[in-house]
């Protein structure tokens, strides 16, 4: 029997998917796309988006009608792996939010001051189950994306299309680059946690198309505005692009504030998602694991906030590619194997 607190509509599921994947990858994408394929970044973004579309199609069919709750109750070891992994990933996106908030909005405030409302909001958002989370993310969907779309449209007036032209077609470089960009989209594995609880439709092709257009828009606006060389050396090229965009008539000078708002709210969705799905894993697998899981995740991250901003940040900078490639490999194959094993056992039990 379905748990009503875990049911969402198809529209909510598709909007959750777009927000979580796009928010996680967008700010890193222009630089990462040029990292392995300097002369064909545009093609790399398209190829990575197609990879994401293929994976979403696989998830849509493999997880249809199968709640993650049933799978994790049978494979408890998987719940522990998910909880630990998602806690580490949540700490990474918590670090991103703290960093941007301190740099652009509240430079004089401590990590404890900034972190407390973030964790409180995440807790309140997640306690109503997937249904409440779906409603919240459906409600903020356009609040997050409209400012970004607005900035991207304005940036089109001053693009250097020569910087976006594809200069070479090295198959190995483009493949390596597309895999690296796809690795940025590692929250795509969240889809396994709610596809089985979408009650009136699948992951839609137009949602995938919209995701690809958004990624192409961010890449084109950034590289077309700054150029490839500056995009590669700028620590935050998307923010620099937004700072160079101006509204006609000079009505508003700080359009980068729109992107800061998008980034913080969008990444908060990803951060809260990791805490939510990690705790859901423990709750489904262990009857007494809920309180322990909540305490270690929400309370633990808050207590070690200074460590996250220092030691953990150093580790992430040093091993960033290991981090995203590892997430990609585990996130792609681990849930697929779990769901296929569960379906096989269900089939065997019916024989």
pTM for this predicted structure:
0.91
User: According to the model, what pLDDT value does residue 244 have?
Assistant: 77
Instruction: Measure the CA–CA gap between 46 and 42, rounded to whole angstroms.
Output: 7
Among residues of the chain, what percentage have pLDDT more than 90? 46
* Better pLDDT: 281 or 288: 281
The contacts found for 84-89 with CB under 8 angstroms, 24 or more apart, are 85/278, 85/327, 85/330, 86/274, 86/275, 86/277, 86/278, 86/281, 87/274, 87/275, 87/278, 87/296, 87/297, 87/300, 87/301, 89/186, 89/187, 89/274, 89/327
User: According to the model, what pLDDT value does residue 1 have?
Assistant: 46
- Checking if the pLDDT of 252 tops 70, the result is no
Tens-digit pLDDT profile for residues 176-235: 999 999 999 999 999 998 888 888 778 888 888 999 999 999 999 999 999 999 999 998
* Better pLDDT: 349 or 2: 349
Tell whether the torsion through CA atoms of 297, 299, 303 and 306 is positive or negative: positive
For residue 86, what pLDDT band results from cuts at 50, 70 and 90?
very high
User: Do the beta carbons of residue 31 and residue 237 sit within 8 Å?
Assistant: yes
């Amino acid at each position: 029997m379905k748990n009503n607190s875990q049911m969402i509509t198809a529209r909510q599921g598709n909007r959750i998917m777009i927000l979580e994947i796009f928010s996680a990858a967008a700010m890193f994408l222009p630089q990462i796309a040029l990292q392995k394929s300097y002369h064909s970044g545009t093609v790399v973004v398209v190829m990575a988006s197609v990879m994401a579309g293929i994976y979403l199609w696989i998830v849509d069919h493999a997880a249809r009608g199968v709640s993650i709750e049933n799978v994790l109750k049978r494979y408890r070891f998987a719940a522990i792996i998910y909880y630990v992994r998602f806690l580490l990933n949540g700490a990474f996106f918590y670090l991103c939010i703290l960093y941007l908030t301190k740099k652009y909005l509240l430079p004089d405030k401590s990590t404890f001051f900034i972190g407390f409302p973030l964790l409180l909001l995440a807790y309140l958002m997640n306690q109503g189950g997937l249904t409440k989370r779906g409603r919240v993310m459906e409600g903020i969907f356009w609040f997050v994306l409209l400012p970004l779309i607005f900035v991207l449209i304005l940036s089109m007036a001053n693009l250097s299309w020569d910087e976006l032209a594809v200069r070479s077609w090295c198959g190995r470089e483009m493949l390596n680059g597309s895999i690296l960009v796809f690795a940025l989209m590692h929250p795509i594995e969240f889809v396994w946690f709610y596809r089985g609880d979408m009650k009136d439709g699948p992951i839609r092709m137009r949602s995938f198309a919209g995701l690809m257009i958004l990624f192409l828009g961010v890449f084109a606006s950034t590289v077309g505005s700054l150029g490839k060389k500056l995009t590669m050396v700028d620590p935050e090229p998307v923010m620099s692009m937004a700072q160079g965009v101006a509204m006609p008539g000079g009505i508003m000078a700080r359009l980068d504030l729109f992107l800061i708002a998008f980034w913080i709210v969008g990444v908060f969705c990803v951060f809260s998602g990791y805490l939510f799905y990690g705790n859901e894993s423990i709750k489904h697998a262990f009857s007494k694991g809920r309180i322990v899981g909540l305490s270690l995740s929400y309370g633990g991250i808050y207590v070690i906030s200074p460590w996250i901003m220092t030691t953990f940040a150093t580790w992430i900078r040093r091993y960033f590619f290991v981090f995203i490639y590892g997430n990609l490999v585990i996130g792609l194959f681990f849930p697929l194997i779990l769901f296929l094993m569960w379906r096989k056992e269900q089939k065997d039990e019916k024989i």
